[in-house]
Structures are given as C-alpha cells and as structure tokens.
Chain A
C-alpha cells in the first residue's frame, strides 16, 4: 500500500513511466479486443517485432549516414519514424495480399515474425551503441520517459481512444460479420484500413515505451481475461481496458518494490490474473455440475 501511495504521488520521480504504462494498459487492450475477435493474434505478436526491427533499422541508418555524435533529431523521434514506417509498410503489404484473396496466412505472418526478429538482432550486432538502446526496449525496461514523449503518447493514444469510441459499431460490424457489412453497403476496405491504421499507431508508439513483449502482452492478455468475464464487444472492451490499466498499475508497483524490469512484471501479473480467472471459472463450473447431479 505504501508503494502504491508513493508511486501515485504527483512528485514521484518515475511518474512519467507510470503514466505511460497506464495509458498503454488502458488503450492497447481495446485494440487487442479487435485483434482477438478477428483471430489475428499472430499479427499482435508479429507487428511489435516488426516495429522493433524498424527502430533498430532507424538507429543503424542514422549511425551509418550521420554517425553517433551528430544526431539532429531525438532518439525517440528517430525510433518513432523507423517503427511507424516499417509497421505500416508491413500492414499495407498484408492488407494488399488479403485484398487479393491470399488471406492473412499464418505461415506468412510467422515467417515475418522470424525475419523481423533476426533482422533486429543482426542490426544490433552491427552497431554497439544502438544495441544498448534497443536492448532496453526488448527487455521492457520502462524507466525514464521525457515529458515530450509522454505527450506524444497521450495524443496518439487519445486519438485512438476517440476513433474506437466513435466508430465502435462500424468496427464491430466488419469484425463480426464482414458479409453482412458488405450487404448493408458498408465500405469494408475503408473500415479495415482504419482498424489496421489504429493497430499500427498503437503498436509503433507503444513499442517505443514498453517494448515488443509487453506490447503483445497488453494487446492480448487483458482481452482474454475480459472475454471470460463479460458479454458483448462493448462489455469486453470496458473490462479489458480496466484490467489492462489495473495490471499496469500493480505491475509498476511490484517492479518498483522488488527492483525488477517493469514490462515483464506487467506480463507476469497479467498471466497470474488470467490463471486465477480460469481456475475460478473451472471451480464454479465443477460446483454447478455437482449440484445438478
């Protein structure tokens, strides 16, 4: 409790890291609900990896052409550009293939994951300075976030929150029943692009703050927990966002208290919550079956 009070104090030194984690914990599960509902979980793990490769590529590119000493842009902006360009290039490529009826083949997405991981490691191996910066991302060490980066995160995720709220029914319709959406005259391609754009921004921004592992964790685990506790897309979304924000808060407190990296602590706690919910539901079902017999 003391730890919670300490980290919630407005003058807490690492408050930006806490706020960043909370915003991602709140918004990423809302996007993850759509990824799960469309059975695109593999996309949820691959795109953060692609985004990280984009960050590494941007740093290495800058080192190669400008050297380490002459950075005229901040590391964050450089990383954001690299992450965004590569993430959206991959999203557009996948959307194009899906549009041509080739589907989002699991093999293709798995291959992308492997290649993105390998490219990231090779790029890091070629540049020691970049390696140090990106390794922190890979470990999910959320320590210091400058005010400007937090502001960009707030603005980006705020826009996503507004889009998800305003266009909830359209996004649900194309997710749950594409054919019905087309028969109602909806422009499915436009809504798909909006959804994939939202996914792209969520991942490319979030990866810079919490890293690929934690990003994937926040995208997938809270919606899985919520799916066991609520009914309907709106109900699941609200519970997922609440669970995600709660995990981010408790995870940060645990990491601060035990001197552990924040991101993996968040994911571990999310796993524990999921296990508790599943066990509780199994026990309840067992008691119900026993009572009926």
Chain B
C-alpha cells in the first residue's frame, strides 16, 4: 500500500491499524490512512465497499472496533464540517434553509445558550457565498437536489471546520448540478485552503478537477492510495471494478 506523504505531525486524521464496522462486526480491517493539512482526498470504490464507513470513522460517528483514530490538530480536537448524504436528514417537519445552515454553529454555542447575532451573520455569509442568500426562508425540502447539497455545504462551512468531509455530494443530482457543486468545492478548497475528504463514485467528474490530486480506492476491504492521474486512469478503474464484479 502506498500511503503518500506521511508526516504524522501534520496529520489531521490518522488511522492506525483500524477496524471499522457495525454491531461489533468489522467491515474494514487493518486500515492505515493519514489525512494531512491541505489535502484533497477522494475516496472511491463500488457501492457498498465501505467508503462512507471510513468517512464516518473520520468524523467520530463510528468508533473503531480495533486500532486507533487520531483526530487532533495543535493539541485540540479537529473541527469537522460534515456533509452527509441528503437522505440521512430527518425532515418530518421541514426546516427553513437558514435553520438547517444554522445547525453548523451549534458545535460552538454552549448548551442552553442562544445563537449569537454574530453567528447568525456568519451563517448568512456562508449562504450568500454559496449563492443561497435569496433562499434563506424557503423550506429545505422544497429545494432541488443541487440546492439542498449547497445548503448542506453551507452548514458544514458554518462550523468553521479544519476538515470538510463530503459523503457522496454528487449523488442523486443531474450532471450540470454536479458540475456546479464540484466547481464550488474546488473554489472553497482553493480560497479557504480547506482540507477535504470526499466520497464519490462519479469518477468522470473527479477526473476533470485538478484539485483531486490523491485518490484512495476502497477495494476488497483494503485501501489503495495514489496520485489521481494513476488511480483514475481507465485501466486502473477497469481493474478495480472488474475485480469487484462491476
């Protein structure tokens, strides 16, 4: 396995011989992976191979069954901006776009304390930055797939993250909307120097963006990491998908 750069002092996330799974049953074992400051890492692989599981391990949503996951920067916990798959959000009672984005600030606001005016302004700024300023009062479920995805990214930015984790941000949206989302992600990575890890199976879209410098294939429970040009080359994709029966 090629681990790429490996200076643990710079690592925001470090998997050390980690096993991840559900109900005590490991899905992935022996994982070794570092995410360094400034990285843009794409996690790719066929459906059900464990890409989202790894992302949840990074975010602390899944604790390792074995091994250790370090999530520290400068002696403090890493702040995450987590963009989940859209369908994981409970929307029995529709929240407005602003209310959804405001949740990003809840990690900083102490329990029982109201969200301050400054935090609200920050959220408005994030929504404006993503071209959603006019939609703040709209019910979240009333938006298109691409717009909802942008709201979730705005919410993640409102957390003022060290690391942005994106779980299939392109799934369920048309190609044009996917392009808009990718351009947006590229801009955020460039302008804000945000470290990002993105799960996706849209290999064509990943190939078209320069920011995707490193790719990790999740393959038969193991990780294979390398430069995007190599890992997304047609022969590599064919090898991986063919080996998985794809």
B69-109: CB near A (< 8 Å → 1, else 0) gives 00000000100101010001111111110010001001101
Return the contact of A183 from the options B61, B90, B93 (Cβ within 8 A). B61
Find the A residue at minimum CB distance from B89: A177
Please, how many angstroms separate the alpha-carbon atoms of A105 and B168 in the complex?
Answer: 28
Decide yes or no whether A166 CB sits under 8 A from chain B: yes
The binding surface of chain A is classed by DSSP as: helix
Cβ of A182 and Cβ of B90 under 8 Å apart? no
A176-B82 contact in complex given A170-B111, A183-B59, C-beta closer than 8 Å: no
Please, how many angstroms separate the alpha-carbon atoms of A170 and B114 in the complex?
Answer: 11
Cβ of A169 and Cβ of B106 under 8 Å apart? yes
Please, how many angstroms separate the alpha-carbon atoms of A221 and B18 in the complex?
Answer: 47
Cβ of B92 and Cβ of A179 under 8 Å apart? no
A184-B111 contact in complex given A36-B93, A37-B93, A177-B90, C-beta closer than 8 Å: no
B180-198: CB near A (< 8 Å → 1, else 0) gives 0000000000000000000
Residue picked from B84, B89, B91, B106, most chain A C-beta under 10 Å: B106
Cβ of B77 and Cβ of A185 under 8 Å apart? yes
A84-121: CB near B (< 8 Å → 1, else 0) gives 00000000000000001100000000000000000000
Cβ of A185 and Cβ of B107 under 8 Å apart? yes
Decide yes or no whether B139 CB sits under 8 A from chain A: yes
Cβ of A231 and Cβ of B139 under 8 Å apart? yes
Please give, as numbers and ranges, the residues of chain B lying within 8 Å of A183 by CB-CB distance: 59-61, 80, 82, 165
The B-contacting residues of A in range 159-188, CB under 8 angstroms, are 166-167, 169-170, 172-173, 175-177, 179-186
Cβ of A167 and Cβ of B112 under 8 Å apart? yes
A184-B107 contact in complex given A101-B23, A177-B89, A179-B82, C-beta closer than 8 Å: yes
Cβ of B95 and Cβ of A180 under 8 Å apart? no
Please, how many angstroms separate the alpha-carbon atoms of A223 and B107 in the complex?
Answer: 28
Please, how many angstroms separate the alpha-carbon atoms of A176 and B140 in the complex?
Answer: 12
A176-B61 contact in complex given A101-B22, A185-B77, A232-B94, C-beta closer than 8 Å: no
- Number of CB contacts from chain A to chain B under 8 A: 83
Residue picked from A37, A177, A180, most chain B C-beta under 10 Å: A180
Decide yes or no whether A233 CB sits under 8 A from chain B: yes
CB distance from B6 to the nearest CB of A (A): 25
Please give, as numbers and ranges, the residues of chain B lying within 8 Å of A233 by CB-CB distance: 93, 95, 99
Cβ of A177 and Cβ of B165 under 8 Å apart? no
Cβ of A232 and Cβ of B93 under 8 Å apart? yes
Decide yes or no whether B159 CB sits under 8 A from chain A: yes
Decide yes or no whether A47 CB sits under 8 A from chain B: no
Please give, as numbers and ranges, the residues of chain B lying within 8 Å of A38 by CB-CB distance: 90
Return the contact of A231 from the options B59, B94, B109, B115 (Cβ within 8 A). B94
Decide yes or no whether B219 CB sits under 8 A from chain A: no
CB distance from A240 to the nearest CB of B (A): 9
The A-contacting residues of B in range 93-143, CB under 8 angstroms, are 93-96, 99, 103, 106-107, 109, 111-112, 115, 139
Sort chain A's interface into a size bin: 20 to 34
Cβ of B88 and Cβ of A177 under 8 Å apart? yes
Cβ of A176 and Cβ of B95 under 8 Å apart? yes
A227-B93 contact in complex given A179-B59, A179-B82, A183-B61, C-beta closer than 8 Å: yes
Tell me how many residues of B have a C-beta within 8 Å of chain A. 31
A180-B84 contact in complex given A101-B22, A169-B106, A231-B95, C-beta closer than 8 Å: yes
CB distance from A40 to the nearest CB of B (A): 10
Find the A residue at minimum CB distance from B110: A170
Please, how many angstroms separate the alpha-carbon atoms of A172 and B111 in the complex?
Answer: 12
The B-contacting residues of A in range 204-241, CB under 8 angstroms, are 223, 227, 230-233, 236
Cβ of A37 and Cβ of B77 under 8 Å apart? no
Decide yes or no whether A22 CB sits under 8 A from chain B: no
Cβ of B59 and Cβ of A182 under 8 Å apart? yes
Please, how many angstroms separate the alpha-carbon atoms of A116 and B139 in the complex?
Answer: 40
A176-B89 contact in complex given A182-B59, A231-B94, C-beta closer than 8 Å: yes
Cβ of A39 and Cβ of B92 under 8 Å apart? yes
Cβ of B82 and Cβ of A236 under 8 Å apart? no
Please give, as numbers and ranges, the residues of chain B lying within 8 Å of A33 by CB-CB distance: 93
A186-B107 contact in complex given A167-B112, A177-B88, C-beta closer than 8 Å: yes
Decide yes or no whether B207 CB sits under 8 A from chain A: no
Cβ of B59 and Cβ of A173 under 8 Å apart? no
Please give, as numbers and ranges, the residues of chain A lying within 8 Å of B91 by CB-CB distance: 176
Please give, as numbers and ranges, the residues of chain A lying within 8 Å of B23 by CB-CB distance: 100-101
A258-290: CB near B (< 8 Å → 1, else 0) gives 000000000000000000000000000000000
Binding site for B on A (CB under 8 A): 33, 36-39, 100-101, 166-167, 169-170, 172-173, 175-177, 179-186, 223, 227, 230-233, 236
* 14 pairs, CB–CB < 8 Å, chain A vs chain B: A33-B93, A37-B92, A167-B111, A173-B103, A173-B106, A179-B84, A180-B103, A182-B59, A182-B61, A184-B106, A186-B106, A223-B93, A233-B99, A236-B93
